[in-house]
């Protein structure tokens, strides 16, 4: 059991990053009633998604594997044709190319997606957004500027 | 913007999986006061961690990239020597080999780690645990048994 905290001996190539999601991450309006805020790594991309009531991420599929976690509120996830109303404490693993959709009903919701590899369509959205300058400044990087 | 929901045309090799974290995932006691419940994918491993008050994940580092998200309570994250008290709405990106530690003070906490690639030490813990049979049964798989 103790091996879990054994330390690997490699050299970090990047600093760690701590963020306050709503304050530090850029907000992308990618569908009506949905706003996502991405935290981008090398192998991982975390996307914090706010849903207004009666909003929908339509049925889609992608190559990137996805973990889906409900943070607040209720979200109906459709996964492979099965629908389930999900709440905090519930999560889904969505393998590559499995079709899925998500929607809210009368209340708002907050949800986390983590993709690996980083979802290409989201990186493109991030690249294309207007007024990129000054957005996404981390509240705290663990290395000095330029480090 | 609409390209975000374009569907890729690959064929899924695995079904989707929806879980209730506390009911469906195996619980691993991997350090005093800490219990983790892993949801394992191919590229991703999500680990839901419950902390008792005054518990600690000691300083360690690993090759796998990690997203750290506070779900409930307050957790002090030490990342690259910088300490910050984190709450829900805050998250960290921990690149490969960056040393980190986490601890609670007077209250319990709940936290999500997502690793890519799946963290090997955690897969080993999962493999070695006693009484593996019957644990980790999903509450709902989106494919029929054997599918």
Name the helix (H) or strand (E) containing A116: strand A109-116
CA-CA-CA-CA dihedral for A60, A81, B19, B103, to nearest 10: 10
ipTM score assigned to the predicted complex: 0.88
pLDDT in tens, A47-76: 999 999 999 999 999 999 999 999 999 999
Average pLDDT (B13-20) is: 96
Q: Is residue B24 part of a domain?
A: no
Interatomic CA distance for residues A37 and A45, integer angstroms: 10
Q: Is residue B102 part of a domain?
A: yes
* More confident position, A9 or A61: A61
**Which pLDDT score, from 0 to 100, does residue A112 have?**
98
pLDDT band at A1; cut points 50, 70, 90: very low
pLDDT in tens, A11-46: 999 999 999 999 999 999 989 999 999 999 999 999
Q: How many interchain CB pairs under 8 A, A with B?
A: 235
Q: Is residue A17 part of a domain?
A: no
Which A residues 59-98 touch B at CB under 8 Å?
A: 59-63, 65-67, 69, 71, 77, 79-82, 84, 86, 88-98
Whether A8 shows a pLDDT value over 60: the answer reads yes
Q: Is residue B18 part of a domain?
A: no
Q: What is the CATH classification number for the domain harbouring A58?
A: 2.60.120.10
CB-based contact B15:A95 (threshold 8 Å): yes
pLDDT band at A130; cut points 50, 70, 90: confident
Q: Is residue B116 part of a domain?
A: yes
Residues of chain A positioned with their CB less than 8 A from the CB of B40: 93
**Which pLDDT score, from 0 to 100, does residue B131 have?**
64
Cβ neighbors of A51 (< 8 A, separation 6 or more) are: A33, A34, A73, A75, A102, A103, A104, A108, A109, A110, A111
Q: Is residue B41 part of a domain?
A: yes
Which A residues 101-120 touch B at CB under 8 Å?
A: 112, 114, 116-117
Domain count, chain A: 1
**Which pLDDT score, from 0 to 100, does residue B78 have?**
98
**Which pLDDT score, from 0 to 100, does residue B34 have?**
97
Interatomic CA distance for residues B103 and A15, integer angstroms: 20
Find the domain containing B54 and state its range.
Answer: 33-129
Interatomic CA distance for residues B63 and A55, integer angstroms: 38
**Which pLDDT score, from 0 to 100, does residue B145 have?**
42
**Which pLDDT score, from 0 to 100, does residue B47 have?**
98
Whether A113 shows a pLDDT value over 60: the answer reads yes
Average pLDDT (A84-109) is: 98
Residues of chain A positioned with their CB less than 8 A from the CB of B111: none
Q: Is residue B6 part of a domain?
A: no
Mark yes or no for CB contact A18/B80 under 8 Å.
Answer: no
Interatomic CA distance for residues A40 and A3, integer angstroms: 29
**Which pLDDT score, from 0 to 100, does residue A132 have?**
61
Q: Is residue A46 part of a domain?
A: yes
Of the listed ranges A44-58, B65-79, B119-133, the least confidently predicted one is: B119-133
Residues of chain A positioned with their CB less than 8 A from the CB of B100: 16
How far from B144 is each of A18, A77, A80, B147, CA to CA, in Å?
Answer: 41, 18, 11, 5
Whether B15 shows a pLDDT value over 50: the answer reads yes
């Amino acid at each position: 059991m103790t091996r879990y905290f054994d330390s690997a001996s490699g050299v970090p190539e990047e600093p760690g990053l701590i963020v306050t999601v709503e304050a530090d991450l850029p907000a992308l309006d990618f569908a009506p009633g949905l706003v996502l805020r991405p935290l981008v790594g090398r192998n991982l991309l975390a996307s914090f998604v706010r849903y207004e009531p009666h909003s929908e991420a339509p049925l889609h599929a992608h190559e990137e594997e996805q973990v889906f976690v409900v943070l607040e509120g209720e979200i109906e996830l459709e996964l492979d044709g099965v629908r389930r109303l999900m709440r905090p404490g519930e999560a889904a693993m969505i393998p590559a190319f499995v079709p899925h959709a998500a929607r809210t009903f009368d209340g708002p919701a907050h949800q986390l997606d983590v993709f690996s590899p980083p979802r290409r369509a989201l990186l493109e959205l991030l690249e294309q957004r207007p007024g990129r300058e000054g957005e996404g400044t981390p509240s705290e990087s663990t290395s000095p500027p330029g480090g």
